[in-house]
Structure 1
Amino acid sequence: MKASPARPSTAAQPTVVTGPAGRRQPVAAGPPWYDDVASATDATTVGPKGSACTLSVTFSVPAEWRVEAVRSGAEFTLGPAVPVCEIDAKPAGHIGFLRVWQITGATPLNPQDTVDRYLAAFDGPKEQQHRRTRAGPLDAFEATWTEDGERKRAIVVSTRKGELMITLGGLDTEEFEAMLPAYQSAKSSANLPT
């Protein structure tokens, strides 16, 4: 049975979040950022050595989600992004994925270029918005857009081994909203491996 869509927490919400370099920025409730959606309960850690996907960033997702390395990622490159890990929501009753992409290229891209080149591979994404934010303690760059009327999300972090991007996409807006707590969990728990 499919779980109901994510609902904003009814607990008192802060009016600010901490942005890059500790700067405070407003919480954006509801679409397109959904900052008021609480993180899912962390359970499975993605990224450490010996896990299904060894990455230059670690983060947590709900236990029911299935984590698999993408073995032939170069075949599915979008702009500078090569998929390296796929986290499937189907075992949790949703139709959609969190995907992790390694950013490639001869010269380092700034996060805005990364997102713009990735989105250029799609057929006319709309309603694009960008912002600097945090992924756990890490400076990050986040984007939201619609594709064929469906909301999508991406966050880019820089590591010693280059940039990684985590994206969220679902079958439709209802599925996207239902999976947002897992995305928020990945975002809030992101860190460099120890």
Structure 2
Amino acid sequence: MSRRTVTAALAALALAGIAGCGDGKPAAAPSASASASPTASPVVAGPPWYDEVAPVEAAGELGGKASPCPMGIIFSVPAKWRAEAVTAGRDAAIGDAVPVCEIDAKPAGHLGFLRVWDADAGLSQQYTMDKFLDANGDVTDRQYRRTKAGPLDAFEATWVGPDGTRERALLVSTIWGRYLLTLGGADDEEHRAMLPAYQLAKRTAKNNRE
């Protein structure tokens, strides 16, 4: 190939690169405040995600064979939170999510629950989460993001329920299927007070390999 031909080819590639850059402005970062579609997982202090909240100290693990709720997911729980298996099955399902465990915060001085649901419907994370939220009534201010629960891939949502209280859910993908962890409190103050327990569950989640 002649030097003139090589030079022409390089010039064409350079022009193509310039055209691909558009106006030269950097792409906008995804909004940390939310929308109908999930963003990557930015760190967001304050409402609605409160990522600055540190997890409370762990007092034990839930999900193993010897725990009150044997499940395909294991995570740590704080002191005094009382776990109990839910055996109502599909009769108590919300959307495609079937409750399997309820962790009561009342013994720790809070009015609310951390609940675990079997949500392995074989559908997309967005569909599964939306079906759960749709079944909860007239919810508003839905916000989503992709995130991690321990080392596991997860899909997180926050919304305002029909009673005006902020709620939270985490759909975790395990080797045994998907589990949905939800946090609900009597009001926004209780919701924020229980976030350290939710953060503990989120950061310590792992596959049950027993």
Give the TM-score normalised by structure 1. 0.84
CA distance in 1, matches of 2:152, 2:160: 26
Partner residue of 2:147? 133
Shift of 1:25: 4.7
Partner residue of 1:12? none
What amino acid is aligned across from residue 94 of structure 1 in structure 2?
Answer: H
What do the CA deviations read for 1:49-77 (whole angstroms, capped 9, x no partner)? 12100111100110210010001132211
CA distance in 1, matches of 2:141, 2:181: 19
For residue 127 of structure 2, give the secondary structure of its aligned residue in structure 1: helix
- Aligned residues of 2:72 and 2:176 also touching (Cα < 8 A): yes
Instruction: Name segments (4+ residues, structure 1) moved above 2 Å.
Output: none
Partner residue of 1:8? none
- Aligned residues of 1:153 and 1:167 also touching (Cα < 8 A): yes
- Aligned residues of 1:82 and 1:104 also touching (Cα < 8 A): no
2:58 aligned with 1:42, yes or no? yes
Structure 2 portions without partners, runs of 5+: 1-39
2:124 to 90, 110, 116: 110
Partner residue of 2:29? none
Could you say if the C-alpha distance between residues 161 and 25 of structure 1 is closer, same or farther in structure 2, counting changes exceeding 3 Å?
A: closer
Shift of 1:104: 4.7
Shift of 1:122: 1.7
Partner residue of 1:18? none
Give the length in aligned residue pairs: 169
1:185 to 200, 203, 209: 200
CA distance in 2, matches of 1:154, 1:127: 14
What amino acid is aligned across from residue 140 of structure 2 in structure 1?
Answer: K
For residue 206 of structure 2, give the secondary structure of its aligned residue in structure 1: coil
- Aligned residues of 1:57 and 1:193 also touching (Cα < 8 A): yes
CA distance in 2, matches of 1:94, 1:73: 26
Shift of 1:109: 1.2
Partner residue of 1:170? 185
2:134 aligned with 1:120, yes or no? yes
Structure number with higher helix proportion: 2
Larger radius of gyration: 2
CA distance in 2, matches of 1:120, 1:56: 26
CA distance in 2, matches of 1:138, 1:41: 21
Give the TM-score normalised by structure 2. 0.78
1:54 to 67, 70, 84: 70
2:79 aligned with 1:86, yes or no? no
2:49 to 33, 40, 60: 33
1:77 to 90, 93, 98: 93
For residue 155 of structure 1, give the secondary structure of its aligned residue in structure 2: strand
CA distance in 2, matches of 1:126, 1:161: 31
Structure number with higher strand proportion: 1
For residue 64 of structure 2, give the secondary structure of its aligned residue in structure 1: coil
Shift of 1:184: 0.2
What do the CA deviations read for 1:80-131 (whole angstroms, capped 9, x no partner)? 00000000000001010000000154xx111111110001112211000000
